[in-house]
Structure 1
Amino acid sequence: MKTLLKKFLFASLVMCGSFLAASATANAAEYYMAPNGNDNNPGTLSAPFASIAKAQSVASSGDTVMLLGGVYKNFSIGASDSNYNYVNNITKSGITYRAYTSKNVPIFDFSNITPTKRVAAFRIASGVSNVTFLSIQVTGVKVGTQKQSECFRIEGNATFNQVVCHDTEANGFYFVNHGTGTCIKCDAYNNIGPTSSSIGNTDGFGAHGDGVTFQYCRSWHNSDDGYDCLTSRGSNTFDHCWAYNMTAGGDSNGFKIGGYGTGTPPSTIPVHTVKYCLSANNAAHGFYANHQPGQSATWTYNTAYNNAAGNFDMLERVSPTNATDIPGTREIVHNNIAFTRAAIINSNLPAANVSNNSWNKSGVTVSSADFQSLDATQMTKARGTNGVLPTITFMHLTDSSDLKGLGCF
């Protein structure tokens, strides 16, 4: 009898939980925005809002703001502090901002915002969590005489899926302070700082917070680095990401992973993960440990091509308290391919840490005959359905290559 009662109570709890979950979903609301909307409207499909600020003011956690296609250009400053003007200041958790249809992607053009301070086109404030952006573009963000601006400044927690930041003077995705989140199938390209101070502060993706995951993302022709982990307190993961043609005058690395500059490292030095990534034709390094005072990353199944300062640079520092640069002794580097330019530099790694790579695997050689194509411009081709990476032949191995099992393809 007790067993039957327990089963009944358990079943009742499961049904109650399912009902509550269904009720929460059923109660979630949808609001609509359009370039020709009006904030005096009720936010319906036929009478949409005009601004993120208005949509956020009425939405609650679990709700979705549908963004109709077209170009959004009529912005005002949502909030400011001593350094920044925040145009769209996201202060509520749990809200999704997404394109109403993938066939007509909304474009947020901030070229009308004068950069009297640093500009953050979108800021996810500290303490805000579970904010999602899906299938939008950001362009036109200016920097003026400031040191930097940002398309997305993430101090809280956010997920970006198929979001593109392009043709701006600003960082694309900038996770900072305790910022965390995920970028999936996102692109950042042609983001160029126009002045001597901003050109070296304009990255495609910046992971400077408490840990970010990047999957299937691309960064090309940004004026500083493709991906930058400087001062990160958390471990970051780069999985199937591409970096190409960072040649506009800044640091110009594809993947700059690690380092603290003159800042104080955290008590526990994070170790990052870089796997199945592709870095090509950058003016500096393809994959760079960047003076990490400890192990910067585990680097596996990556492919590097024609990066001017070296394809893999494992430069470390002695320790958090000794900033002397040394050839890396702690990196883990396996199953990678490097072709054209130096394969690996600043490396004093033990054999167990750096095995089965194209430059030291017994019995293999690397030549152009190993690859179906050496045309790196293929990396910028249009994405496929649902934002998948484009189908390319660049750096894919030929059937006869003895490098099979190495690299990202």
Structure 2
Amino acid sequence: GSWTMQGVYAYQSSGNTSARMNTGGYLILPYLNNPTSIAFSHKASGSYKTLLLEKSLDKAETWETLQTYASASGDFARVSATVGLGTADSVLLRLSCKAATIYIDDVEVFYSTMAEEPGQQAAIKAGSISGQTVSILFEKGDGQGRLLVCQPDSSVSWEPKDGVSYTGSFPKRLPEGQILVSSGDEDSVLATGLEPGVNYYFTVFEYNGQGNDRNYLCPGNYCQARTSEEPSLWADKNQLAFRKVIPGNQRYQSIKIWAKFLVPANDSVLLSCTDPNFSLSRTQNGEFVSALYLPNNNGEISGSEIFVRYAPQNFGLHQAYLSISQGNLRDSILLSGEGSETENYSYYIAPYGSDTNGDGSLENPWYNLQKAVDTVRAGDEIICRGGEYFPDAMKDGSKTTVRISHSGSPGQWISIRNYEGEFPVFNFKEQQPKLEGNRGILLTGNYWHLYGLHITRAGDNGIKLEGSHNIIERCTFSYNFDTGLQLGFGHDFSDSGHGSSNDGSWCAWNDIIDCDSYRNCDYDTNYGSDADGFACKMHNGRGNRFIRCRAWENSDDAWDLYETDYTVVLIECWAWRSGYAEDHAWVKDVVAVSHGFSGNGNAIKMGGNGTGGSSKGKHEAWNCVAFNCNKSGSVKGFDQNSHDDGEKLVNCLAFGCGYDFMFERASANSEYYNNVCLGRQEIAGGQESNNAIGTATDKGWSNKLLTGITYNDFVSLSEEDAKAPRNEDGSLPTRFARLKSSSPLVDAGLYIKNPYEEVFPFLAQAVYGSARDIGPYELEEGNISSAPSLLLTHQPEFNFEVFTGGAGSTQLTIRFVATKSTIACLEIISLEGKRIFIRTIQVVSGGQYSLPVRLGNFKKGVYLCKITLANKSKIQRFIIH
């Protein structure tokens, strides 16, 4: 559409074109359908210039003011406002200048894509009826499809929520007892798996749209039907898949049996299986036999539990049927397993999967991550197909938090990762905002590796991590109602159940690698005051590290190390634009916001507990960047926050904050080397040398200080370049914070060995020229004069083996022995040079590792397998037949 304007002119400055508005000038956007919010940048030629944002729903006949802004000189200020007309058409928005001159740039409008609500509900009636089935016939409404729900003994009180598509295999049982029977555009549906002799109430809801755009017509129309009182016998599962078990070991699963109206009423139900690899028992610790009888009570059995044991006697696939019979009734359950050299297995979940009818295979995946988590054991992996998940499993009976409490082992990590080339998103939008403990994922187990997941809209933290020896890698956290990823416990450690104080082993040795966290915002009486991008606080253990992570536009701080018990390390992490209320208009679309915004807005808060300084540990930041945190003129980039135990900052950069560096409490245990400050700082004391600043101050660094540094010393310091996509290997974008060759920061620093490069060799930066550069990144021009000692250290030889399993195999196994404690990287590469698989794991020196790789998506041919330990790589060829 076209824009309407009066008193508005194009204005060019530094290669950028913006709109210049005179007094009385206005800018009207084209007609909009379903607008939810608007964002734009503005500044003025002086102070207190009034700018109005207005809306009209009657084609410009009348205007209503949405927001009033006081525009001022200086840099453009980015603002956003809620429009809240997600179901309205032909909306006009107007920006009006009440006092010249005001400049407008980068106008963005956000829309609701919610489909239009159907106007006519479907009608339904019952057709044929049996003991466990009812046929439902539809007289269709005017929607694209309809959702059928039933409930025993009373009318359906549940209604679907707009924006949620109920997908996957049906039927689905809801926690409140309702059954989702079907979703689609069929003329009739057969409801199965019902209980005989029960009144069922069926309700239909017409809908339009797909995915998050789905819009339901409520209330629904209903009908009633009673299933027949006829002899019926059924189990809660139709198959049991035991996966891989080493011969000599055994694995157990259970089923539940129901029956009604049995004839004759006093005859027992017979369960039997003739395959010697499978056996049955009434209890897991009881005697296992090939056949057993299950007594009934006056013709009924109410969920009696039967245990099935798989104990393979040899290698190979085993498949059999568990027969269930009584009188003329027959049912069966498919049993399967594999006698294997290893018990490590890959389980799959998918947005179209089913916890009820799936078996966790690639072909028949589960839906809920919790289902897979409860199944895996040490050495297994969970592979998440791409798409959006709306978790609905409630492990504790009341919350949809995915709870991970059991553990892998040093040589047998458990992993949850994305399917290669796909992007799984776990949307917890059904959780109540800021309900205590309503996290997306609660990880209390050890030796887990989470890779390539996106966690959003959790009612509290995206992930709360309390376990040890875990890796969170390539994960994203956004729009959660508290900190995206938080390590630690609560204010009182004794509440954790691990004693009165942390001895360093609880919530310890966790690595957060290549993760992003943005636009997280809490909502309670202190709206915005708690949600950080990342946090390691409240009684963490030893050895927690954040590596190459980014946090931006979070309501409180980017990083918070409040009330720590031990050192926390940040390496090559970027933090910017914290604490701006306008970045969190999305909250108002979810909850009714009545409190004032209270976000602090710091970038990296390195400890503290108010003026008490109760946090402990000498925190470290290497090659980190903190910038554009200046909502009030006093917030900080790197902030001591009254922390007394000292800190070490090496090759860090800060700019655009109220205070770029604020370390107001003197500490002889503090160190600052090769850092760059482009704005204000306050440094109370400590060891320091070879730092750089724009203008020197008597409250800052002084030893071998380089002054006169400006923004022009860098190729780019823009938020756009900081927010650019990561490189294929997960590393950060390559324009931001890089030096120009003309900068006096080049060759002006000290060489300070980064001790973490030995564990993470991808962090190593060779030194070009006569000395290390000041700032986070070395300018890679000229000759390498020296390099981190790691690159010169001899590494012992290691070897590995690849087992393909021969023709028709669905999996290869890679075995190796780690020569040191480090990160191992496994890659599979085609002969054309394309990397088609990558996996990283933490390994310990001397550990023996066996890594399974599924071959389902690999074509026949020759491939290269590459393993890198520290800086040493080995390559082998293998063939898929």
Using the TM superposition, give the Cα deviation of residue 263 of structure 1 relative to its aligned residue in structure 2, in angstroms.
7.5
- Does the alignment pair 1:191 with 2:520? yes
SS of the counterpart of 2:684? coil
Match of 1:250 among 599, 602, 606: 599
Equivalents in 2 of 1:386, 1:170: separation in Å?
29
Match of 2:387 among 58, 62, 70: 70
Match of 2:344 among 25, 28, 50: 28
TM-score by length of 2: 0.39
Contact 2:691 2:705 in 1 (8 A): no
Equivalents in 2 of 1:282, 1:25: separation in Å?
55
Contact 1:364 1:403 in 2 (8 A): no
Instruction: Supply the AA of the counterpart residue of 2:566.
Output: G
- Structure-2 residue corresponding to 1:321: none
The structure that has the greater radius of gyration is 2
Structure 1 residues 55 and 299: alpha-carbon distance in aligned structure 2, compared to 1, 3 A threshold = same
Structure 1 residues 25 and 201: alpha-carbon distance in aligned structure 2, compared to 1, 3 A threshold = farther
1:164-313 aligned within 5 A? 164-177=476-489, 178-180=506-508, 181-208=510-537, 209-211=540-542, 212-248=544-580, 249-261=598-610, 265=614, 269-283=616-630, 284-295=635-646, 297-308=647-658, 310-313=659-662
- Structure-1 residue corresponding to 2:474: 162
- Does the alignment pair 1:96 with 2:415? yes
Identity of aligned residues (%): 25
1:36-185 aligned within 5 A? 36-40=352-356, 41-79=358-396, 85=399, 87-94=401-408, 95-101=414-420, 103-115=421-433, 116-125=435-444, 128-142=445-459, 149-157=460-468, 158-177=470-489, 178-180=506-508, 181-185=510-514
Moved more, 379-388 or 111-120: 111-120
Equivalents in 2 of 1:367, 1:44: separation in Å?
57
Equivalents in 1 of 2:417, 2:552: separation in Å?
24
- Does the alignment pair 1:402 with 2:732? no
Q: Any gaps of 5 or more consecutive residues in structure 2?
A: 1-338, 409-413, 490-505, 581-597, 694-701, 747-772, 778-881
Instruction: Supply the AA of the counterpart residue of 2:675.
Output: N
Using the TM superposition, give the Cα deviation of residue 51 of structure 1 relative to its aligned residue in structure 2, in angstroms.
1.4
SS of the counterpart of 1:293? coil
Using the TM superposition, give the Cα deviation of residue 196 of structure 1 relative to its aligned residue in structure 2, in angstroms.
4.3
Using the TM superposition, give the Cα deviation of residue 27 of structure 1 relative to its aligned residue in structure 2, in angstroms.
2.7
Give the superposed CA RMSD: 2.2
Instruction: Supply the AA of the counterpart residue of 1:388.
Output: S
- Structure-2 residue corresponding to 1:333: 672
Residues 36-85 of structure 1: CA distance to partner in whole angstroms, max 9, x if unpaired? 1111321100001111222122211110011111100142332379xxx4
Equivalents in 2 of 1:53, 1:367: separation in Å?
51
Contact 2:517 2:551 in 1 (8 A): yes
- Structure-2 residue corresponding to 1:391: 734
Contact 1:315 1:328 in 2 (8 A): no
Moved more, 132-141 or 49-58: 49-58
TM-score by length of 1: 0.81
Structure 1 residues 358 and 25: alpha-carbon distance in aligned structure 2, compared to 1, 3 A threshold = farther
Instruction: Supply the AA of the counterpart residue of 1:252.
Output: G
Structure 1 residues 383 and 264: alpha-carbon distance in aligned structure 2, compared to 1, 3 A threshold = closer
Using the TM superposition, give the Cα deviation of residue 234 of structure 1 relative to its aligned residue in structure 2, in angstroms.
1.7
Equivalents in 2 of 1:97, 1:30: separation in Å?
10
SS of the counterpart of 2:563? coil
Structure 1 residues 357 and 151: alpha-carbon distance in aligned structure 2, compared to 1, 3 A threshold = same
- Structure-2 residue corresponding to 1:11: none
Moved more, 241-250 or 271-280: 241-250
- Does the alignment pair 1:373 with 2:722? no
SS of the counterpart of 1:313? strand
Instruction: Supply the AA of the counterpart residue of 1:258.
Output: G
Instruction: Supply the AA of the counterpart residue of 2:438.
Output: V
- Does the alignment pair 1:348 with 2:684? yes
Using the TM superposition, give the Cα deviation of residue 403 of structure 1 relative to its aligned residue in structure 2, in angstroms.
1.0
Structure 1 residues 250 and 403: alpha-carbon distance in aligned structure 2, compared to 1, 3 A threshold = same
Higher relative contact order (CA 8 A, sep 6+): 1
Structure 1 residues 240 and 264: alpha-carbon distance in aligned structure 2, compared to 1, 3 A threshold = closer
Equivalents in 1 of 2:341, 2:527: separation in Å?
44
- Does the alignment pair 1:314 with 2:663? yes
SS of the counterpart of 2:439? strand
Using the TM superposition, give the Cα deviation of residue 273 of structure 1 relative to its aligned residue in structure 2, in angstroms.
1.1
Instruction: Supply the AA of the counterpart residue of 1:291.
Output: S
- Structure-2 residue corresponding to 1:7: none
Using the TM superposition, give the Cα deviation of residue 264 of structure 1 relative to its aligned residue in structure 2, in angstroms.
8.7
